[in-house]
Structure formats: structure tokens, C-alpha cells
């Protein structure tokens, strides 16, 4: 009786796990199969679509790199990601430190205020931002995105850095002050070296968030050569009625999976930032 | 003389760098200037534009103040009213579905079982892959001719041999599709937030409650929920705001169609303000997201206060 009950519970548990895993990964499996199927196999309704009925092919991947601007889009995304991470670092690290140690009695309200701006969605600001971007002479240029993306990376990164700096004991800086360093010197020579793991988190966070962004990129960049990978693939590769599904899926996988892996690396820190735990 | 002057100058500089009242604002300035220039200013511009007849054509030559005409026009606009309704349905349904799936996932990932690491990575994929690329997979799964979903349902005899639903081509199915895909994208986030919160419950509190004779329901609702709630609420609020304001899933799958049956506020603002170039009307449309945002911000503040920073 007990054994039967346990067996029943176990089976139920694993059924649930399997169902969730299938739901989460079904599109990715289908993308993977599609990306390497021959055209003929792909559009043949008679055979089982989940397996390769004809030997796998590299033709879609080759087409993607030879005949489209896919490599260019990947490069653009990468450049934007690196530049945005750099800007975020320069802006968010000092701000986080000021909020943790120096901003006086308004520090907490100011910190929460900056954190809340992370909630402001692109769909609220994309319309008024476009004349500003034109005024700056950045219309239809990836530089527009380099300028705009810090608006959502800086708030969260400032918040993360503030939490991080609070975990560093004040005594260490005070010792440096006693040794004749000024405040800035103590920050550069004592606090920064101790904060490398927090700074690394902020860099990865800003980098992946800007690589993933879609709505601003769709709004502000329209010429093929300036597109990011998240916009180039669903717009340039999906023109007209005939979609080249093999190449589309190959593009989504090649760009998406590495980004997902990087994202997973700092996931726990991101969650700690939202749930209020300190990152270490 | 010169040497003395330079020395006192650098001493003065050193002195300034020692002053916390000086260094603090200097450190804060770039962040605040950035937010004012690229969040504050555009927000005020949005309000200003929404009160004018500005379009992509008259932006250089001059446009005029029209008062609340754009907003009155919106309420007369049948598509806008539909977008408003769709936004409510889409956001609430997809967020609810994501919460249910996310909680189940969190409960599962609390257990120890073989292959847990792999399961965790697999379940997190929808959230970790960029939305524009993950949703493309669904677009292909919903294909009108080669839908793998239809093929599978037929293989399991859930659909008859001559049934072939057009997932993105019929109003109700299209709405269901965008809701499910958004929930698919969002549920891993809910799961990790819940997991983070549940591991925050101190084991001795659970043990103490158990020793005191609290049963499963009492432990859940009088011990666990009060501890978890302030922690998860920020994550839940973020998810809800995202569901209300996002246009990615809708734009990528249906572009608001068929016949505006999946049009939401974000995608309609994009359609009117960016694609058609009616900046004033578009700005007015997206301003309807502000009340949602305000509520979300107030709730976040409350949650953070309760959590005691």
C-alpha cells in the first residue's frame, strides 16, 4: 500500500516535470530540427516531422552567413552590448557608491527613485525619443541605441552596486583615510578592488540586457547595415510571403543560445537584486 | 610664486575630494543627468506632443496646440477601445498563467531529484533567450500550412484528420496564442523569484511552527506567505508591468491582427505614432500606460518598505 502510494506520487511528479520541460523546450527542439533539415524534408507532410527523414544539411546556416547580413547584425549587437556595458559602468558604479555611503539623508529615497525608473517601458518613450534622436543626428544609426539603452541598464545596475557597496565594511575605507588617502583615493584604491565581482555582474547584466532588447531597436534602426541581431532576423529575413524557415531558425538558435548561456551565469545575482538579497 | 599657487590649488582640490558633501553629488550627477535627459525629458515631451497635432510631416514646419483633442479622438476610435480591452485580457491572462506555471515550477525545483540541474537550465531557456528570437520558433510552430502543433494534435487524435486550426489567423485563437507565448516567456522568471523567496524562509521558523502544532495550511498561510509576499511582490509587479506594456510578442506573432483582434496599447502606439507617423495621437495612446505604471510604482514602494531595506 505504502509502496503503491509512493510509486503513484513519484510518477505524478515526473509527469509534471516532463510536461513543464516539454512546454519550455518544444520551440527550441523544433528550431534545432528545422535549422538542419533539407527543404524537401521540411515541407513534406507525409513523414514524421520530429526526426530527420533525410540526412541533415548545413545549407541554411551557410546561406545565412553567405547571403544575408547576419554576421553584421551579430557584430552590431556585440558592439552595442560592449559600449552600453562601458557607459553603465562609468555611470552606475559611482552612483551606487554615493547612494551607499555619501548621499546623506535623501540617499534611500533617491536610490528607490532610480530603481523605479527601471519600470518605465520602451512603449511609453519611443515616440517622444525619436525627435530627440533626430536632433542628436543619430536617426537610423546603432549609436541611437548606445545612447538609449543605459536608461534601463543604469537604474538596475546602480541599485545592484548600492547593495554591493553596503556589504563592504566602512572600516576599510576609514583605514585608508587615516593613511592619508582622500575619499576619492580610498574609493579607487580600496573599494574598487574589493568590488570586482559586483562590477563584473553589472557588466554582464548591462551587456546581455542590451543584446536582448527589441522594441527600441525596431523603432530607431531601419537600414539593414545598422540593425541588431534581434531586429535583423525577424524583419529582414521575414520579408514577403515566403519565409525561409530553415535559415530563420538557424539564425535564432545561433544568436539566442549563447546569449541564454551568458544570461544563466548571472541569473542568481539578478534575482537577488529583485528579491532584496545582497549580491556577493 | 607659481609653485606656491599650484600647491595651494591642488591642496584645495584635495580638500574638495575629501568633502563627502562635494563628492557625493559629483558621483550621483552622471546617473541623474542621464535619467533626466533620456527619461524625464521624453516623458514631458510625450505629454506635450499628446496635446498637439504633431505628425512626421509637420514636425519641421510647425504644429499647433489642440488641447485634449487627441484623447477625445482616441475614445471615439474603435480600434483604440479594442486595444485597451485586449491589453487588459492579454496582461491579466498571461500573467496569471505565468504565475501558476511559475509556482508549480518553483515547487518542483525545491525538491531534490536526479537531473535537476538539466531540468533547471531547460526550464529557464524561454526567459533567457532574447524574446525576438524565441518567439520566432513559435511563429513557425503556428504556421498556417506546416504547424507542428496541429500535426502533433492530429497524431494524438485530439484533432480529426480534416481539422487544421489557423492559430494566428482567427481572432480567438490568435489571442490565446499570444497569451500562451507570453506566459511561456514569463513563467521561468516567476519561478526563480519564488525559489529565491522560499529559500529565504528560515528553517527554524518552519520547525517552530510545526512543533507548535501548525498544520500544512496554517504553515502555508500564516508562516510562509507573510514571509514570501513582500519578497516576491516586487518580481510579480515587474512581470505585470511588462505584460501590460510590452508589444514584442504581439508584434512578432500577429502585428496586432487579424483585424486588430490582438492589438494592445503598445503595438497600437507603435502603429499610430511610428509606422503611420501621427506622433501626437501615438503619444496620447502610450500615455494610457502611465496609470498602470503609477500603481505599479506605489505598490513596489510599499513592498520595499515592508521588506525594510
Contact B31 A212 (CB under 8 A): no
Query: Is the pLDDT confidence value at B191 over 50?
Result: yes
For A173, residues 6+ apart whose C-beta sits below 8 A from its C-beta are A101, A186, A187, A190, A191
The CATH homologous superfamily to which domain A63-275 belongs is MetI-like (1.10.3720.10)
- pLDDT bucket at B5, cuts 50 / 70 / 90: very low
Partners of residue B65 on adjacent β-strands: B52
Contact B122/A21, CB-based, under 8 Å? yes
Total Cβ atoms within 10 A of residue A11: 10
Distance (Å) from the C-alpha of residue B242 to the closest C-alpha of chain A?
7
Question: Please, which residues 19-38 of chain B have a Cβ atom closer than 8 Å to chain A?
Answer: 19-21, 23-28, 30-32, 34-35, 38
**Residue B16: what pLDDT?**
64
Domains by residue range for chain B, with CATH: 73-307 (1.10.3720.10)
CA of B97: how far to CAs of A12, A180, B62, B180, B277, in Å?
21, 59, 47, 8, 35
> Which of A14-28, B55-69, B289-303 bottoms out in mean pLDDT, i.e. has the lowest?
B55-69
Contacts of B235 (CB under 8 A, 6+ apart): A271, A274, A275, B189, B190, B193
pLDDT (average), residues A35-47:
86
CA terminus-to-terminus distance, chain B:
53
Contacts of B32 in chain A (CB under 8 A): 95
CB contact under 8 A, B28 and A31: no
Given A13, A20, A27, which is nearest B141 (Cβ)? A27
Half-sphere exposure of B221 (CA within 13 A, CB side): 3
Pairwise CA distance, residues A131 & A153, whole Å: 22
Query: Is B235 close to A103, i.e. CB distance below 8 A?
Result: no
Which residues does chain B have within 8 Å of residue A16's beta carbon, measured at their own beta carbons?
104, 108
How many A/B residue pairs have CB atoms within 8 Å? 284
Contact of B242 with chain A, judged by CB distance below 8 Å, is answered with: yes
- Say what percent of chain B tops pLDDT 70: 93
Alpha-carbon distance B125 to A261, whole Å? 9
- CA–CA separation, A243 and B190 (whole Å): 33
Asked whether B239 and B95 are in contact (CB, 8 A), the reply is yes
Q: At residue A280, does pLDDT exceed 80? A: no
pLDDT in tens, B64-75: 888 888 899 889
Q: Is the Cβ of A265 closer than 8 Å to some Cβ of chain B?
A: no
For chain A, give every domain's residue range: 2-57, 63-275
Q: Of the candidates B225, B197, B193, which has an alpha carbon nearest to the alpha carbon of residue B209? A: B225
pLDDT over threshold 60, residue A157: yes
**DSSP notation for B207-232:** HHHHHTT--HHHIIIIIIHHHHHHHH
Amino acid at each position: 500500500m505504502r509502496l503503491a502510494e509512493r510509486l503513484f506520487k513519484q510518477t505524478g511528479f515526473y509527469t509534471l516535470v516532463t510536461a513543464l520541460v516539454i512546454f519550455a523546450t518544444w520551440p527550441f527542439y523544433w528550431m534545432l530540427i528545422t535549422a538542419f533539415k533539407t527543404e524537401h524534408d521540411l515541407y513534406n507532410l507525409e513523414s514524421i516531422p520530429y526526426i530527420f527523414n533525410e540526412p541533415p544539411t548545413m545549407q541554411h546556416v551557410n546561406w545565412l552567413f553567405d547571403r544575408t547580413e547576419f554576421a553584421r547584425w551579430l557584430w552590431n549587437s556585440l558592439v552595442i552590448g560592449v559600449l552600453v556595458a562601458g557607459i553603465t559602468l562609468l555611470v552606475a558604479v559611482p552612483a551606487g557608491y554615493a547612494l551607499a555611503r555619501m548621499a546623506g539623508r535623501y540617499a534611500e529615497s533617491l536610490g528607490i527613485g532610480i530603481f523605479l525608473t527601471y519600470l518605465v517601458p520602451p512603449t511609453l518613450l519611443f515616440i517622444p525619443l525619436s525627435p530627440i534622436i533626430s536632433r542628436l543626428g543619430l536617426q537610423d544609426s546603432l549609436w541611437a541605441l548606445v545612447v538609449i539603452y543605459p536608461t534601463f541598464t543604469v537604474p538596475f545596475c546602480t541599485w545592484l552596486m548600492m547593495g554591493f557597496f553596503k556589504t563592504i565594511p566602512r572600516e576599510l575605507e576609514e583605514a585608508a583615510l587615516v593613511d592619508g588617502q582622500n575619499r576619492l583615493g580610498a574609493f579607487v584604491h580600496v573599494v574598487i578592488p574589493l568590488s570586482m565581482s559586483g562590477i563584473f555582474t553589472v557588466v554582464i547584466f548591462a551587456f546581455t540586457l542590451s543584446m536582448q532588447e527589441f522594441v527600441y531597436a525596431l523603432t530607431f534602426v531601419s537600414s539593414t547595415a545598422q540593425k541588431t541581431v534581434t531586429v535583423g532576423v525577424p524583419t529582414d529575413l521575414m520579408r514577403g510571403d515566403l519565409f525561409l524557415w530553415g535559415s530563420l531558425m538557424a539564425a535564432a538558435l545561433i544568436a539566442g543560445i549563447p546569449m541564454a548561456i551568458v544570461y544563466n551565469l548571472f541569473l542568481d545575482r539578478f534575482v537577488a537584486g529583485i528579491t532584496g538579497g545582497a549580491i556577493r | 610664486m607659481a609653485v606656491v599657487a599650484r600647491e595651494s590649488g591642488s591642496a584645495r582640490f584635495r580638500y574638495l575630494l575629501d568633502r563627502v558633501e562635494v563628492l557625493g553629488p559629483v558621483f550621483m550627477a552622471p546617473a541623474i543627468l542621464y535619467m533626466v535627459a533620456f527619461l524625464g525629458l521624453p516623458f514631458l515631451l510625450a505629454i506635450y506632443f499628446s496635446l498637439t497635432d504633431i505628425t512626421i510631416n509637420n514636425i519641421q514646419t510647425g504644429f499647433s496646440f489642440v488641447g485634449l483633442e487627441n484623447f477625445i479622438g482616441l475614445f471615439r476610435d474603435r480600434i483604440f477601445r479594442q486595444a485597451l480591452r485586449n491589453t487588459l485580457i492579454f496582461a491579466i491572462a498571461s500573467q496569471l498563467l505565468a504565475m501558476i506555471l511559475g509556482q508549480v515550477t518553483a515547487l518542483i525545483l525545491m525538491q531534490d531529484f536526479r537531473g535537476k540541474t538539466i531540468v533547471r537550465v531547460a526550464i529557464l531557456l524561454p526567459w533567457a533567450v532574447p524574446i525576438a528570437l524565441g518567439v520566432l520558433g513559435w511563429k513557425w510552430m503556428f504556421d498556417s500550412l506546416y504547424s507542428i502543433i496541429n500535426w502533433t494534435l492530429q497524431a494524438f487524435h485530439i484533432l480529426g484528420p480534416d481539422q487544421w486550426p489557423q492559430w494566428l489567423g482567427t481572432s480567438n485563437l490568435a489571442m490565446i496564442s499570444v497569451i500562451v507565448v507570453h506566459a511561456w516567456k514569463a513563467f521561468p522568471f516567476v519561478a526563480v523569484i519564488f525559489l529565491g523567496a522560499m529559500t529565504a524562509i528560515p528553517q527554524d521558523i518552519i520547525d517552530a511552527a510545526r512543533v507548535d502544532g501548525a498544520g500544512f495550511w496554517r504553515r502555508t498561510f500564516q508562516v510562509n506567505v507573510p514571509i514570501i509576499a513582500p519578497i516576491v511582490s516586487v518580481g510579480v509587479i515587474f512581470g505585470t508591468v511588462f505584460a501590460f506594456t510590452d508589444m514584442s510578442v504581439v508584434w512578432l506573432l500577429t502585428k496586432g491582427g487579424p483585424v486588430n483582434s490582438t492589438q494592445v496599447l503598445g503595438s497600437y502606439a507603435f502603429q499610430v505614432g511610428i509606422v503611420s507617423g501621427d506622433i501626437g495621437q501615438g503619444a496620447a495612446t502610450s500615455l494610457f500606460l502611465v496609470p498602470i505604471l503609477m500603481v505599479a510604482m506605489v505598490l513596489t514602494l510599499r513592498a520595499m518598505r515592508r521588506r525594510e531595506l
